[in-house]
Structure 1
Amino acid sequence: MALFPPLDASPEEVRDALRPLRNDFSVALHTAGNAFAVGAVIRVAHSFLVREIILIGNAPYYEKASMGMEKYETIVSVPDDDAFFAHVAGRPVWAIEKDHARRSLYDVAGFPRGVVLAFGSERGGLSAEFIARAADVIGIPMYGVNHSFPLAVATGMVMNEWARQHYSAR
């Protein structure tokens, strides 16, 4: 059910048209370390019309991987954890971290309003200090010998579960 903007619409006109359709959750990427993966996440996050995409640290993103969707998204860059937590003050932060999970994504019965879903790098995940500041820690079950999902896949899985829970009743 993709929307088709008029071909002559500016990016700002498209952003304005999408604003009332945005969903009440955000995605944060903590020092992702892979510019292509960050671009892919921007593309996937656009498909779920997230409130914003927050980049923690100074990792760049590859615009070609976002397939132009960065033009329509609110992308916020913050330098560190303190700036991130100040930016999202008052909103619940859920760390998505397999090795320190308090519960499985499959056990989430509801996402809180305004939740910020925070993902770390494929190599290092999220730091213990960041996890300690999170309201919850969710793990995505894995069944092979691979240690992590690609970042765009993991974010897509969690955003899809958010959407499944919010839109299945409609």
Structure 2
Amino acid sequence: MKIPPFGLTTREIREELAPLRNDFSVAVCRAKNPFNIGAIIRVAHSFLVREIFLIGTEPYYERASMGMQKYETIVECPDEASFLEAARGRPLIGVERDHARRTLWEAPFPRGLVFLFGSEDDGLPQALLDACEDVIAIPMYGINHSYPVAIAAGMTLCEWARRRDPRGGVSRAGG
């Protein structure tokens, strides 16, 4: 099912969404698979994040974001140092299985946080791990070592929303 056109410009849609934005952000180290970055942008839009930090210079696949990049504030950071400067003063929560201090289910989510996701192959660079206030892991039950990064982002943002949903988790569709 396609959504009919809103009859608004991109700028007008962004202005309408601005007061609805949530007080948290997503940062992702650009990876070898540009599809994943586009998918994370699409997922982040679904949760109306404050902004999306893209760390590194690799391109991302815009088609995977399904046009949602037009409605998001995307902050391009060419390297880890520029990201840390851009996010200065905000709690960084790394999502990384190998260096986790606790699970997604038990981690506190302070206001203004930035969820930080690493690349599929290398995870989070040490400089970013060192800057994290906390590092969390999503529980796994199979023998696989990790979740795809776009899936991990979706699960993490869903847990954030579950805790913060002012409707008590009730679907707008009434389900």
Q: TM-score range by the shorter chain?
A: over 0.9
Summarize the alignment of residues 9-24 of structure 1 with structure 2, pairs less than 5 Å apart.
9-24=8-23
Q: Distance in 2 between matches of 1:31 and 1:9?
A: 31
Q: Provide the residue aligned with 2:101 in structure 1.
A: 102
Shift of 1:168: 5.5
Q: Provide the residue aligned with 1:159 in structure 2.
A: 157
Summarize the alignment of residues 19-58 of structure 1 with structure 2, pairs less than 5 Å apart.
19-58=18-57
Q: Provide the residue aligned with 1:127 in structure 2.
A: 125
- My pick for the range that moved more, 94-103 or 123-132, is 123-132
TM-score by length of 1: 0.92
Shift of 1:41: 0.6
Letter in 1 for 2:123: G
CA, structure 1 residues 126+15, in 2 after alignment: closer, same or farther (shift >3 Å)?
same
Shift of 1:5: 8.2
Q: Deviations over 1:101-155 (max 9, x none)?
A: 00000112x4111100000011111122221111110111111121211111100
CA, structure 1 residues 90+5, in 2 after alignment: closer, same or farther (shift >3 Å)?
farther
- My pick for the range that moved more, 144-153 or 13-22, is 144-153
TM-score by length of 2: 0.90
Which one has a larger percent helix, Structure 1 or Structure 2? 1
Figure out how many residues of one structure are paired with residues of the other and give that number.
Answer: 166
Partner SS state of residue 99, structure 1: coil
Shift of 1:64: 0.8
- My pick for the range that moved more, 98-107 or 124-133, is 124-133
Q: Provide the residue aligned with 2:146 in structure 1.
A: 148
Shift of 1:22: 0.2
Contiguous gaps of at least 5 residues in structure 1: none
Letter in 2 for 1:122: E
Answer yes or no: is the 8 Å Cα contact 1:38–1:61 preserved in 2: yes
- My pick for the range that moved more, 96-105 or 122-131, is 122-131
Contiguous gaps of at least 5 residues in structure 2: 169-175
Answer yes or no: is the 8 Å Cα contact 1:95–1:117 preserved in 2: yes
Answer yes or no: is the 8 Å Cα contact 2:30–2:37 preserved in 1: no
